[in-house]
Chains A and B, each alone.
Chain A
Amino acid sequence: MSTLEIKDLHVSIDTEQGTKEILKGVSLTIRTGETHAIMGPNGSGKSTLASTIAGHPRYKVTGGTITLDGEDVLAMSVDERARAGLFLAMQYPVEVPGVTMTNFLRTAKTAIDGEAPALRTWTKDVKAAMQQLRIDADFAQRNVNEGFSGGEKKRVEILQLELFKPKFAVLDETDSGLDVDALKIVSEGVNRAHAEGNMGTMLITHYTRILRYIKPEFVHVFVDGQIVEEGGPELADRLEEEGYDRYAKGAGAATIAAAAAQA
């Protein structure tokens, strides 16, 4: 079993107006096999948490730690983190010119595993995974994400999740912009990866609808760069009924407005 541990994490970004603190002391522990939903209004810092775990250079960690089985994740480069078993399914996957999906998937798999995958089984695995996610076979010959629709990009993120078999996956609003069919397909992919790889999942979402298909054991409510409430799946049900309004009252309307302005 592996453990991803986030302790009192403080993160800032540089803006034209100066440095701005987005995460204000976040602590969270995820073990393999667990699914945690991080829920919160737009601009509460959920995506900042995701990008910081992956090591995006825009986010500066000013305090706290992230460790993976005791290893200092913050000391690792972006590619080292991925090779250590962390995977970020991005909210807005970029289009990469000049690199075909086939070439990209093989190169990444080779980097993550430290050796090239056996060609015959790999090709078969890719094909099967694409079929399950209803991704057209001709995508393999297209450049990474180039000309893909929003929904196709999300499916391709989950394709990578299934093929790379990380220890921990952070899904950054993977559900946003998906219709119900696509949401089901994507959720099934996550559930497969979870079941087969004993993966730990951090599911970041604004809405509760993905939680009909992916069942978290833990729910954390994120407001203004902090976790303000934690609980089991019943907390998600309550959020579905009540929304985030009561946190707005609790935290003060000004705080929420400030959080929204960061979006």
Chain B
Amino acid sequence: MTAEITTEKARIGAPSIAGFTEEGEGLVSAKVDHSHNHGVTVMSSRAERLTSFDVADFALPTGREEEWRFTPVRGLANLFSDAATDGDAAAFTVEAPEGYVRSALAQGAAPRGTVLTPADRAAVVASANTDEALHVVIPADAEPAEPVRILVDGAGAGRRSNAHYVLEAGANSRSVVILEHTGAADHNGNLEVIVGEGAKLTVISVQLWEDDAKHLAQHDAQVGKDAVYKHIAVSLGGSIVRLNSNVRFAGEGAEAELLGLYFADAGQHLEHRSFVDHNVANCKSNVLYKGALQGKNAHTVWVGDVLIQKQALGTDSYEKNQNLVLTDGCRADSVPNLEIETGLIEGAGHASSTGRFDDEHLFYLMARGIPEEVARRLVVRGFLNEIIQQIKVPALEERLTEAVERELAATEN
């Protein structure tokens, strides 16, 4: 096992102390690789990150770049190549009330491109190679009884697939949209979300891929005045999954909640990045990602950026990442970055902890009569339930609970 500790230079916060890592409740044993460091400045502002529609602007990632340094880029050559979708590499099914699905949007056809500008190589090749973007509009004031579903089913490992979806929630609508990934593919998927004034939209992106799928995604949302946007990323399957969930605001009084749940097994790389751009005054954001890890070389990454711009007075923001390490040989990287350009805010907090479920926990629970498998389930279910119960789609909550149980069963064997 390597004892590699990455050091992070955040832009604000306590001075960084070499070798210092913040840990959750003293549960981390020295055997666990994990890092979480925050300190003082060096990096440029998150606002200055390159975005472009031109593939040529993004070189092939080498892994040395700030935003790719945790990612196993060597396994992603196919997804980085500026290539068209390989035939029917993925089947797309949309379940939505009549009239919700509009004609596809070509490159440059608004509202496509108004919210999402590709921010990395994967997103730009997905954008450039998707001539017809799926366009779903939830009409103003609509409250569909059932969630809208976009099902992406990969046809096979290594098959290249590009996608771009544009989702609009009309003013004062109330809706849930589930983006579900199954099967296997090398899938680049962009999601562009426009949340209208006073609308309430929950987007749930579920990664139930087979073991050999790879998936890179950029999900960008713009949240209108007094609107509430919730994005929940649930990553259980796939060999490499990297999902960037970004949000900014179009009017005051808006709220954004970026949530995530992941469970990485041996050899799996699950990476989640979130960026909340408080570009407007009096908005609220809450970020919470929780992950479990088990098995050799299970690797999870969370990088949470929050930028509170100068004009964003009255901002209230919080971000937190918690990881639960179930076995030796796992690695959880956790990097919160908070960048604040005004002091006139309600609050801005961040937290990160990596706890370990080890033999002592197991002994404690078993010494109270609880059998081993029940003890493990108790701990993991309790830990992840905080996110699952936010989904509020009972059938999906049940499926995900079962999927988590299956992951756990794999630990026991």
Measured CB to CB, the residues of A under 8 A from B are: 54-57, 77-79, 81-83, 87-88, 90, 93-100, 103-104, 107-108, 111-112, 143-144, 146-147, 160, 164
Contact = CB atoms under 8 A, between A and B. Distances in A.
Given A90-B367, A104-B368, 9 more contacts: A56-B363, A87-B367, A88-B367, A93-B364, A95-B26, A96-B365, A96-B379, A98-B382, A98-B384
Contacts of B382: 98-100, 103, 143
A111 B364 contact: no
Contact of B369 (A96, A143, A146, A164): A164
B380 interface: yes
Ranked 9 nearest A-B pairs via Cβ:
A98-B383, A82-B369, A98-B382, A108-B368, A111-B369, A78-B366, A112-B369, A97-B355, A79-B366
Main secondary structure of the interface of B (DSSP, over half): helix
Interface string B372-389: 101000111111100000
Contacts of B26: 95
Contacts of A96: 361, 364-365, 379
Given A97-B24, A97-B355, A57 B363 contact: yes
B27 A79 contact: no
Interface of B: 24-27, 324, 355, 357, 359-361, 363-372, 374, 378-384
Contact of A94 (B24, B361, B383, B384): B361
Contacts of A107: 370, 374, 378
Contacts of B25: 95, 97, 146-147
Contacts of A98: 324, 355, 378-384
A54 B378 CA distance: 21
B300 to A, nearest CB: 16
Given A107-B370, A108-B370, A111-B371, A97 B27 contact: yes
28 contacts: A54-B367, A55-B367, A57-B359, A78-B366, A79-B366, A90-B367, A93-B364, A94-B360, A96-B364, A97-B24, A97-B25, A97-B324, A97-B355, A97-B357, A97-B379, A97-B383, A98-B379, A98-B380, A98-B381, A98-B383, A99-B365, A103-B378, A107-B374, A108-B368, A111-B369, A112-B368, A164-B368, A164-B369
Given A57-B359, A94-B360, A104 B378 contact: yes
A83 B379 contact: no
Contacts, number: 88
B361 A77 contact: no
B18 to A, nearest CB: 27
A104 B375 CA distance: 9
A55 B372 CA distance: 14
B372 A79 contact: yes
Nearest to A166: B369
Contacts of A160: 368
Contacts of B383: 97-98
Contact of B367 (A82, A95, A100): A82
A104 B365 CA distance: 8
Given A95-B25, A97-B24, A146-B25, A108 B369 contact: yes
B241 to A, nearest CB: 23
Contacts of B367: 54-55, 78-79, 81-82, 87-88, 90
A62 B72 CA distance: 48
Nearest to A78: B366
B366 A77 contact: yes
A112 B371 CA distance: 10
A97 to B, nearest CB: 4
B378 A99 contact: yes
Which of A54, A78, A164: most chain B Cβ within 10 A?
A: A78
Contacts of A90: 364, 367
A99 B372 contact: no
Given A94-B364, A97-B357, A146-B25, A79 B380 contact: no
A82 B369 CA distance: 5
Contact of B370 (A100, A111, A146, A147): A111
A54 B363 CA distance: 9
Nearest to B371: A79
A79 B378 contact: no
B374 A111 contact: yes
Contacts of A54: 363, 367
Contacts of B379: 96-99
A55 B380 CA distance: 24
Contacts of B380: 98
Nearest to B322: A97
A55 B359 CA distance: 12
Contacts of A78: 363, 366-367
A113 to B, nearest CB: 9
A147 B25 CA distance: 7
Contacts of A144: 364
Contacts of A57: 359, 363
A57 B363 CA distance: 8
Nearest to B384: A98
Which of B364, B371, B384: most chain A Cβ within 10 A?
A: B364
